Structure 1
């Protein structure tokens, strides 16, 4: 990553006002959003929204033509262009022809996208943003940090300072007073403006209508007071039928600000009369700027289902730490990364795509059903295809793909790390590696990996077999988790098989865009894991489980390696995470646990891949309680711990505060033990508590259950 980009991250992280404001909002948002959707079927609603948006995206040209015909039949003038420069030329020529000297604006990220304000100012035309947040940003000389709340990063003290300079009066931080100042300053601008420029939340082809959603009412003034109204709308805002408006209006305020509804919904269908009786000019510009191209791309077409609610930003653990400006000057957050790669250029996303930790929070709450993490992974892939892998990364993956070399190096590392390790941890590393132990200790490589322990485990012969896929961490850092897994399955009458040919699951390569490396990992593991007949392939690592059950097939298919698809599907059908399998075996009466009173109070941390991709969250909780543990839920139990695989090594400055927050939430439960199903999370959280000397034990669920087996 570039030095300037790293510097921008550090500036954001060290801005207490920024992180404080975003942190409080994020906490409140999750609670309030849940209340806003209470009693509604969110999955059904977002399926309806996604279907309506996707249907229009599949036929953008036809839908745009219908919209143009219907809007023009009502008296509007519709201009459609693929070139953002033509948009600016159209508006500037219109302003020149009509003698426009002043413009008021509302609700338009599209104007930010093409830097319209600068073009107008260069022609001597005054421009006033009228959304309160946008006006604050304009006075501050900044760009929006959020799609819906552009000034969310600013405190009331900062706003008071900006307003004081604008009105040449010392203002307090009294919010009603500041709002009154804004109203008094903006009102004359509305009355004097020759042209109003707005965006549009929805454009309805069936009726030629544009729909505007606001909380302040300023959009109504922008669209009604000036004699000319220009609506600049990206073609992705198009829907075919008017019936699609209601579901979007149900989802938009609830997802954007956790409101049941917004204060103003304006539906503009054709021009309206001016005060003097003349007809207002209504110009609707449908801007493309690669949106049609995006609609034709099978990987990115889904991005056009976005309704610009910003919910992906509101739940992102990275956004709430660094804010929007680190992502760039226009669109922010995960969706902003994707839009930047398309509307600007791929290389502009080179640094910001690395901010995504792949936790999946955004995917879970998106009312348009966008898989933002998947699209960001595709950006990484295309960057690798365009620029190649970084040399260090290429060397690392070259080692990982050589199973014997990789395992040999891990064994050697166990010896080499001894001078830096103590009590199973590496607490300090020298020189340029020091950042890796800043905020957490690292696990020492086990003296005896699981693959060496496994042949010594005495197992009962059984007809039912499970192939155990250990993954790198359980194999070489936490072999005790593997031993616990074998104990659990043996007790249920299942013999465990451990193919030594298994190797890295490919997740590190996949999440860094090196799909060819990940595909080779997939092939190697398919061959290893399917060489014996078994009913199950079981893993105690959710990331590895996701790779085996979901990613192998997709990766191979994306590279055209269809000869392995059948085997990949066979492997996926057999793959199961440990908690799901143990819960099934317990329900069948094949496993039981000792009953006991007064056992340790524990809390549980949901691993991102387990909860959001594998949809497993209740199973481990039920098992732990059946085993006699008292479960105390922590605050934000399903928020990322900051591990993210190699993320914690690439961006330790972001990973560390996420971890710190997680450790605090665990400690506040008062539980002496925290359970989890992911060895990566164990590594992160156990290492954090070691450096804090916090006294909380960190255990994999498998170990806690194995300790309580009956008999």
Structure 2
């Protein structure tokens, strides 16, 4: 798959409004249901325990695999260690051929999808029938699952009815209960005539040789009990050391997967059991075959970074909350979908495709907060990007920007000043509404702010003097505030002066480097980190303040991380990080100096949580309280913390997708009836303000600093 192919696939997926509607409706209800079922559970504690168990599995993978094989064999099972997908497929085909089996029933198994088992067995003239309702629908429709838990979530009831009409050759109304009855009738015939059942597994217990299956349909148990031959395909990552380790996984799996307290069926299989074959003959002990599959798992477990992905319990929560997946469905993935799917694809199925799919991650961090295995999914995507660039190289435009322009501060700033002059033919009333040729996608669905005639660094050459001196603060402005929104910088300076703080803006500061990190150019990111540390190193200031949460994340968390192995710069990065604070947190902590000076801001205001502020800096309450303290009538929008669709370079690569995510944000905003949208991120402002302007919607977007500055400068009215 090429980048161009992926872009085309995203456009086609966005054109399918019924799929997007189904996915977003489910996502909205899922978040509510999940919150309710975790009400009396400590999710953080549970997922830390799941992660601990899975980490133990990774550390002792071969030992646990051998123990499981021993214990399962001792209880009557035949265990086959499959190193590859081909070995797993061939084992099943040989077994069926040796037994003279022609019809096979299957319950839901992503491992079988991974090895493309159905297609292979069909080539061997075997009749394989999926018995999970969603999987059966997908099989009849000749599609592949678009979700790890709900394979047919992308299909409407009308589409399902049409598939049934075509394949079963009878009239079918698009009514769920009647379609379920039809499926039950058709599938029962298969269960009663099949000599082999194939299933997957959610957990494999090394201590006892037990297989655990978690399902919401009875077909799983019919598959594992009726046929006299049962084959289980289970990946090595499903191993756990002890029987008691089942408990925390069973606690998180249904809650995180579907928002249920518990699934309908939890099936535990320990050894072979009796069976009755399709001819009515009783078998004292059925044949139980367990395929313990590697197919890239030991390679993942041996990788010092990606071994963390082995903590996944396949709950698919990361898909359920991903704003990109909600727009694209199964296009975002291969066999496995979404963010975790991209990582599994890199090791299990198609490494080249994973290198392209990683571009779809918008880095909002929502998946990390919901992950049942406590996996830092965005960080793993970042590492995949780094390795992709390392192996394939950066694109021509990226090389120019990140090798030649960004690291050279003076050249970079001259470039932006030149661009501010060249933009004039496209600017009307401070906005860029249309761009030519290949840049036209950037103004599809939104306007862009013009580059400022005078950057903030020039405006702040003489910062406002505080009436009294409470301390000294250094300001890291970041590119957008410096060159696009100098008004935000002026507002920050005004608020700090009112609070009695002297402001210093080091001239040598440059881009925080996050854009380089986002595309996988970690050496360029490290170089920019060193430049900024050097710019602030000798500044006598108690705090380094920034009004951009992305910059704050870079300075506070990412600089110490990227420079950890650099003997010269590591300590400096940590020292700088200790001083870094975002604007709202700083003002909130010292607001007693400010609040008495504010004129009431008598407006109906709603607030948008930027991804980096909430999910990386963990700041949510502070800006809201400042707005209330300023007298604003604060109303919460639905989904305030869902990404606006900006994502930096993401919006350049996928403008239509970015715009589609923005539409969802604007829906939430307009439902509140607010006059003002407040936020703390200049990137989010660019995205949302541009969308509002393009749609002629009368909502003003303001940074929290601008709201406070307005209350200082006047009676709080907005012009």
Q: TM class by shorter-chain length? A: over 0.9
Residue 127 of structure 2 corresponds to residue 126 of structure 1: yes
- Cα drift, residue 100 of structure 1: 1.6
- Cα drift, residue 346 of structure 1: 2.6
Q: Give the distance between the partners of 1:327 and 1:577, measured in 2 at CA.
A: 33
Q: 1:424·1:443 contact (CA, 8 Å) conserved in 2?
A: yes
Q: 1:593·1:627 contact (CA, 8 Å) conserved in 2?
A: no
Matches within 5 A, 1:302-313: 302-313=308-319
Matches within 5 A, 1:231-242: 231-242=232-243
Matches within 5 A, 1:277-288: 277-288=283-294
2:431 aligned residue (409, 425, 429): 425
Please name the residue that 2:152 is paired with: 151
Q: 1:592·1:710 contact (CA, 8 Å) conserved in 2?
A: no
Please name the residue that 2:552 is paired with: 545
Q: Give the distance between the partners of 1:373 and 1:650, measured in 2 at CA.
A: 18
Q: 1:143·1:329 contact (CA, 8 Å) conserved in 2?
A: no
SS in 1 for 2:569: helix
- Cα drift, residue 42 of structure 1: 1.1
1:578 aligned residue (574, 583, 588): 583
- Cα drift, residue 705 of structure 1: 1.3
- Cα drift, residue 463 of structure 1: 6.8
SS in 1 for 2:665: helix
Q: Give the distance between the partners of 2:333 and 2:53, measured in 1 at CA.
A: 30
Please name the residue that 2:461 is paired with: 455
Aligned pairs, how many? 706
Matches within 5 A, 1:610-629: 610-629=613-632
1:478 aligned residue (482, 485, 500): 485
Q: Give the distance between the partners of 1:281 and 1:306, measured in 2 at CA.
A: 30
Please name the residue that 1:688 is paired with: 691
User: If the length of structure 1 is used for normalisation, what is the TM-score?
Assistant: 0.97
SS in 2 for 1:703: helix
Q: Give the distance between the partners of 2:218 and 2:645, measured in 1 at CA.
A: 40
The one-character-per-residue Cα deviations of 1:648-693 (angstroms, maximum 9, x if unpaired) are 1110010111112212211221111000000001111111111112
- Cα drift, residue 490 of structure 1: 2.2
Residue 520 of structure 2 corresponds to residue 519 of structure 1: no
Q: Give the distance between the partners of 1:424 and 1:63, measured in 2 at CA.
A: 64
User: If the length of structure 2 is used for normalisation, what is the TM-score?
Assistant: 0.96
- Cα drift, residue 81 of structure 1: 2.8
Please name the residue that 2:390 is paired with: 385
- Cα drift, residue 707 of structure 1: 2.2
SS in 2 for 1:128: strand
Q: 2:105·2:128 contact (CA, 8 Å) conserved in 1?
A: yes
Q: Give the distance between the partners of 2:299 and 2:567, measured in 1 at CA.
A: 27
SS in 1 for 2:595: coil
Q: Give the distance between the partners of 1:82 and 1:612, measured in 2 at CA.
A: 39
Distance 1:521 1:595, change over 3 A: closer
Please name the residue that 1:212 is paired with: 213
Q: Give the distance between the partners of 1:277 and 1:476, measured in 2 at CA.
A: 78
Residue 345 of structure 2 corresponds to residue 340 of structure 1: yes
- Cα drift, residue 561 of structure 1: 2.7
- Cα drift, residue 151 of structure 1: 0.3
Please name the residue that 1:370 is paired with: 375
- Cα drift, residue 486 of structure 1: 1.5
Q: Give the distance between the partners of 2:464 and 2:291, measured in 1 at CA.
A: 73
Please name the residue that 1:602 is paired with: 605
Q: 1:347·1:383 contact (CA, 8 Å) conserved in 2?
A: no
Please name the residue that 2:638 is paired with: 635
Q: 1:469·1:538 contact (CA, 8 Å) conserved in 2?
A: yes
Please name the residue that 2:410 is paired with: 404
SS in 1 for 2:211: strand
The one-character-per-residue Cα deviations of 1:212-250 (angstroms, maximum 9, x if unpaired) are 011111111111111111110000001111111121111
State the Cα RMSD in Å. Answer: 1.5
- Cα drift, residue 709 of structure 1: 3.9
Please name the residue that 1:648 is paired with: 651
Please name the residue that 1:660 is paired with: 663
SS in 2 for 1:279: coil
2:672 aligned residue (666, 669, 687): 669
The one-character-per-residue Cα deviations of 1:515-547 (angstroms, maximum 9, x if unpaired) are 111011111011111221221111100000000
SS in 1 for 2:18: helix
Matches within 5 A, 1:488-527: 488-527=495-534
Residue 715 of structure 2 corresponds to residue 708 of structure 1: no
Q: 1:271·1:279 contact (CA, 8 Å) conserved in 2?
A: yes
Please name the residue that 1:434 is paired with: 440
- Cα drift, residue 414 of structure 1: 1.2
Q: Give the distance between the partners of 1:695 and 1:106, measured in 2 at CA.
A: 53
Which stretch shifts more, 611-620 or 81-90? 81-90
Q: 1:526·1:567 contact (CA, 8 Å) conserved in 2?
A: yes
The runs of 5 or more residues in structure 1 that have no matched partner are none
The one-character-per-residue Cα deviations of 1:563-611 (angstroms, maximum 9, x if unpaired) are 211111111111111111111111xx33324566670010000000000
Q: 1:474·1:482 contact (CA, 8 Å) conserved in 2?
A: yes
Q: 1:640·1:658 contact (CA, 8 Å) conserved in 2?
A: yes
Distance 1:581 1:291, change over 3 A: same
